[in-house]
Structure 1
Amino acid sequence: MEKHVNLIKLSVGTEGVDDLLAWQATPRAQTKDGLPRHVTRMWPKREPEILNGGSIYWVVKGLIQCRQRVLRLDEQTGADGIRRCAIVLDPDLIRTQSSLRRPFQGWRYLNPADAPPDLPIGREDEEPLPVDLSRALAEIGIL
């Protein structure tokens, strides 16, 4: 069985997971078939591994807070004629345990062993902790 690899990306401008969901519900952030997407300049070289069960882990306010399964990579050409990659995502967003991350540009690969676990069944709908509290707990290794 082939292994998979994940992506990790900052969700710039969002205050929480609900903001990310609201953005993905806009027509600008969706494919023609209504799926959420994230458009990026670079095409992942590890495409087969990503499409073999990989997810994109979203960093919101310095913490990984959720993930979405990557369904496909679509080629998209901008108005400037430049080829870009639309990372097409499963609309189901899965909340994860919070994990502290420093800022970075673009996206990065994230090995499954380094990814935070999903929240346990029954906790995924809990009200998230305030970002400052989550960050403080992650810094001391509790979250």
Structure 2
Amino acid sequence: MALRVLTSRVFRPYAPVIRNTATLAAIRGYATKKYTPDHEWISIDNGVGTIGITDYAQKALGDVVFVESPSVGSSVDKQDQIGAVESVKAASDIYSPVTGEVVDVNEALADEPSLINSSPEDEGWLAKIKISDPEELVGLMDEKAYASHCDAAEDH
């Protein structure tokens, strides 16, 4: 009986706060990550989009050996080539899913291009772009639509 009293007095008052905070963070992350049909992803935070290639794309490429990044300060239009990834299997161009200005690039990829293989949607990001037209995000896929897109590609 003493354990039940301790649980209700100590842990229960904090449980809703913990659950709500985790839920809000998960929803925010889910709602702000979008995907292109060409297997790029963009995660938006305060008007800046972090861009990279998806896990699906890195698996198709194989071991990445070189990454070409855009220049900080350059302006890009939606669908412009902003970089390239070379692997032991192939080379692939990376296209911007939005229009804007490149404000940062992942310098770590120059020394460790394998970050794209080990952490494609986290540490293996390519560039950050200050978005000039947020309406361009409307045409991109959410996680569920992107998963369906990948499944359809595997069926062909």
Both proteins in one fold, TM over 0.5: no
- TM-score, normalised to structure 2, is 0.27
- TM-score, normalised to structure 1, is 0.29
* Larger RCO, structures 1/2 (Cα 8 Å, 6+ apart): 1
Higher strand share: 1
Higher helix share: 2
